[in-house]
Structure 1
């Protein structure tokens, strides 16, 4: 090689020459692929079906449910939607020593979110006072997907805890 003569161009572009747009497009593809895999995995998964019953996919509507809630309320909403909330059904499945049955204290049914919010005779008066007959109050999916009913369900849970 002689001095002063330009070097021939290489076929590989320099790393700095790669446009930022390509990196962004690649990141979007990875997120999309991961999202598809996540949906497919949730469809086949045997655990976490409680969430799937109430939320087929994560949508803007689901995220909007949390917008006006405090952190405490938002956490409780997630617990209600995932059915990982402090009720006997969950505690019994986790082998909590002090919980000897998955049934409610009245022995009627498994103490699940649906039983707690919709069926338990122990909370009938409180349920009637808080929900006051709005439409959709007999559907857990509707209650956990409608902003006004979500707030009432959280109020119901807090009123019960008090």
Structure 2
């Protein structure tokens, strides 16, 4: 697994590499397929993270940070929402449920039970023969007979997890429930990502962006971006204050785009480009960042402010030619 994860980091980073869509495709089709291999045998259908799913979730989070260009401090629920990738334990439960239900409806459950009975008989017969050869002393504790049986409890858990719905609907419903529970009003008040519940088409707004542009959009929406407010919270030594140069508030992406007086003229030009869409309130900004065309205009404006020096070199290069960049859609 470490090899696949390392390969992903070699193909994409926050300021260069393949697009978000290609990186996500690489993760879901290659790495996640490896993570979920045989999930019907080792994963228990449940709503909580338990067992191997708990440790494998760390792998998914690391890969999603690479895909989206997000910082490590970005909450897991925002990573999954922006990348349109469901929580791994819910995905594994969906895979296991999609295996358990057909075994009953197609009659294969009886075949599995018959095979398990025969396998248990063979194992117990061999164990009895081995005990006779070893001539165990009389009165020795006998071994418990082996019993192999398809888990009826797993089948019952799968039915309960689905609740009479299809696998896709059950997965989406439980994902939304978990998202609403994680994004409380007090926590999500400062993040634009908190405005949008899970949506499988959410990552399409990154399609036409270069990787550094997509990274900035992701960071701006989640509030974990290389501006003073976030850097001061992370106790970066060179950032003594979270305030913006204008002195009117904390330096965040929302402050620069909506309120900073240092960029008043350029902001008016941005509003002209976004017309007839309005850019006056936080709600307007949240709506515009969900649309592909307007989101890219906002990101380019934010990069031109010079407040994100990390992407200065990426802006100068501007990305390779289309015929050379094989990873762009």
Shift of 1:89: 0.9
1:157 alignment partner in structure 2:
302
Correspondence 1:1-162 to 2 at 5 A? 12-14=113-115, 28=167, 31-32=171-172, 35-36=175-176, 38-44=178-184, 47=187, 50-55=191-196, 57-132=197-272, 134=275, 135-138=277-280, 139-161=284-306
Shift of 1:143: 2.4
CA distance in 2, matches of 1:35, 1:41: 10
Gaps of 5+ in 1: 1-8
Shift of 1:52: 4.4
CA distance in 2, matches of 1:46, 1:141: 17
Q: Aligned pair in 2 of structure 1 residues 53, 36: CA closer, same or farther (>3 Å)? A: closer
C-alpha contact 1:77 1:150 (8 A) present in aligned 2: yes
C-alpha contact 1:42 1:52 (8 A) present in aligned 2: no
Shift of 1:12: 0.8
Q: For each residue in 1:58-77, what CA deviation from the matched residue of structure 2 results, as whole angstroms up to 9, or x when unmatched?
A: 21442221121122211111
Q: Aligned pair in 2 of structure 1 residues 124, 45: CA closer, same or farther (>3 Å)? A: closer
C-alpha contact 1:131 1:152 (8 A) present in aligned 2: no
CA distance in 2, matches of 1:150, 1:126: 16
TM-score where L is the length of structure 2: 0.38
CA distance in 1, matches of 2:194, 2:172: 23
**Partner SS for 1:126:** helix
C-alpha contact 2:243 2:250 (8 A) present in aligned 1: yes
Larger RCO (CA within 8 A; separation ≥ 6): 2
Q: Aligned pair in 2 of structure 1 residues 44, 13: CA closer, same or farther (>3 Å)? A: farther
CA distance in 2, matches of 1:72, 1:11: 51
CA distance in 1, matches of 2:252, 2:111: 66
C-alpha contact 1:136 1:142 (8 A) present in aligned 2: no
Shift of 1:152: 1.0
2:106 alignment partner in structure 1:
none
C-alpha contact 1:89 1:110 (8 A) present in aligned 2: yes
| Higher fraction of helix | 2
TM-score where L is the length of structure 1: 0.72
Shift of 1:159: 1.0
